[in-house]
Chains A and B, each alone.
Chain A
Amino acid sequence: MNHLDEQVLPPQFDLPSLERNAFEWRALKNTLLTGFVWLLAVIASIPLFSVIYMLVVEGGARLDLEAITALPPAGFEMGGGFGNAIVGTLVMVGIAAAISIPLGTMAAIYLAILDPSSKLATTSRFLAKVLTGFPSILAGVFIYAVLVVTTGTYSAWAGGVALAVLMLPTVTLAAEEAMKQVPQKMKDAAFGMGCTNTQVIMKVVLPTGLPGILTGVILAVAGAAGESAPLLFTALFSNYYMAELAEPTASLSILIYNFSGMPFDNQIELAWAASLVLVMIVLIFNVLARVVGKSKFKD
Chain B
Amino acid sequence: MNNQSELDTFIADKYEPQGPVVLDCQVNNIYYGDFRAVRDTNIPVEKNKVTGFIGPSGCGKSTVLRSMNRMNDLIDSFRFDGQIHYHNQDIYSKKVDAVVVRRYIGMVFQLPNPFSMSIYDNVAFGLRLNRFKGDEEEMVVRALERAAIWNDVKDKLNNSGLSLSGGQQQRLCIARAIATEPDVLLMDEPCSALDPIATRQIEELMIELKQHYSVALVTHNMQQATRVADVTAFMGVDISKGGRTGHLVEMGDTQQIFEDPRQKLTQAYVRGEFS
Among A185, A189, A195, A299, the residue within 8 A (CB) of B99 is A195
Asked, given contacts A194-B102, A195-B99, whether A203 binds B129 with beta carbons under 8 Å apart, the answer is yes
CB-CB under 8 A from A186, the residues of chain B are 113, 115-116
CB-CB under 8 A from A208, the residues of chain B are 115-116
Closest to A117 in B: B76
CA distance A183 to B160 in the complex (A): 16
B129 and A194 within 8 A (CB):
yes
Interfacial residues of chain B within 106-156, with CB under 8 A of chain A in the complex: 106-107, 109, 111, 113-118, 125-126, 129-130
A193 and B125 within 8 A (CB):
yes
CB-CB under 8 A from A199, the residues of chain B are 129
B109 and A190 within 8 A (CB):
no
CB-CB under 8 A from B118, the residues of chain A are 297
Does B163 make an interface contact (CB < 8 A)? yes
Does A151 make an interface contact (CB < 8 A)? no
CB-CB under 8 A from A299, the residues of chain B are 116, 160, 162-163
Number of B residues whose C-beta is below 8 Å from A? 31
B129 and A296 within 8 A (CB):
no
CA distance A183 to B113 in the complex (A): 9
Does B27 make an interface contact (CB < 8 A)? no
Contact with A along B49-93 (1 / 0, CB 8 A): 000000000000000000001010010000000000000000000
Interfacial residues of chain B within 154-194, with CB under 8 A of chain A in the complex: 160-163, 173, 176-177, 180
Most A Cβ at <10 Å: residue of B69, B129, B161, B180: B129
Q: How large is the interface on A (under 10, 10 to 19, 20 to 34, 35 or more residues)?
A: 20 to 34
Among B102, B160, B173, B180, the residue within 8 A (CB) of A297 is B160
CB-CB under 8 A from A298, the residues of chain B are 160, 162
A192 and B125 within 8 A (CB):
no
CA distance A195 to B106 in the complex (A): 11
B116 and A188 within 8 A (CB):
no
CA distance A295 to B115 in the complex (A): 13
B103 and A194 within 8 A (CB):
yes
Contact with B along A171-210 (1 / 0, CB 8 A): 0000000000001011011111111100100011001100
Does B100 make an interface contact (CB < 8 A)? yes
CB-CB under 8 A from B130, the residues of chain A are 194
Among A188, A194, A196, A295, the residue within 8 A (CB) of B109 is A188
CA distance A82 to B125 in the complex (A): 50
B116 and A297 within 8 A (CB):
yes
Asked, given contacts A194-B100, A194-B102, A203-B125, whether A189 binds B115 with beta carbons under 8 Å apart, the answer is yes
Among A185, A191, A196, A295, the residue within 8 A (CB) of B71 is A191
Query: From DSSP, what is the main secondary structure of chain B's interface residues?
Result: helix
Closest to A211 in B: B116
A194 and B99 within 8 A (CB):
yes
Asked, given contacts A188-B109, A191-B71, A191-B74, whether A295 binds B116 with beta carbons under 8 Å apart, the answer is yes
CB-CB under 8 A from A190, the residues of chain B are 115
Asked, given contacts A204-B115, A208-B116, whether A189 binds B109 with beta carbons under 8 Å apart, the answer is yes
CA distance A199 to B113 in the complex (A): 17
CB-CB under 8 A from A188, the residues of chain B are 71, 74, 109, 113
Closest to B101 in A: A194
A192 and B109 within 8 A (CB):
yes
User: Smallest distance from the beta carbon of A164 to chain B beta carbons, Å?
Assistant: 31
Closest to A195 in B: B129
Among A185, A193, A196, A204, the residue within 8 A (CB) of B177 is A193
A192 and B116 within 8 A (CB):
no
CB-CB under 8 A from B176, the residues of chain A are 189, 193
CA distance A158 to B69 in the complex (A): 52
Asked, given contacts A297-B116, A297-B118, whether A189 binds B129 with beta carbons under 8 Å apart, the answer is no
Among B103, B116, B163, the residue within 8 A (CB) of A193 is B103
CB-CB under 8 A from B177, the residues of chain A are 192-193
Among A189, A194, A295, the residue within 8 A (CB) of B173 is A189
CA distance A183 to B177 in the complex (A): 19
A192 and B107 within 8 A (CB):
yes
CB-CB under 8 A from A203, the residues of chain B are 125, 129
CA distance A204 to B117 in the complex (A): 9
**Given A189-B115, A194-B104, 4 new contacts (CB under 8 A):** A183-B113, A185-B109, A189-B114, A193-B103
Tell me the A residues contacting B by CB distance below 8 Å.
Answer: 183, 185-186, 188-196, 199, 203-204, 207-208, 295-299
16 A-B pairs within 8 Å (CB atoms) are namely A186-B116, A188-B71, A188-B109, A189-B173, A190-B115, A191-B74, A191-B102, A192-B71, A192-B106, A193-B126, A194-B99, A194-B102, A194-B129, A203-B129, A296-B160, A297-B117
Please provide the 9 A-B residue pairs with the shortest distance between their CB atoms, ordered closest to farther. A194-B103, A299-B162, A297-B160, A185-B113, A194-B102, A192-B107, A189-B113, A297-B116, A193-B126
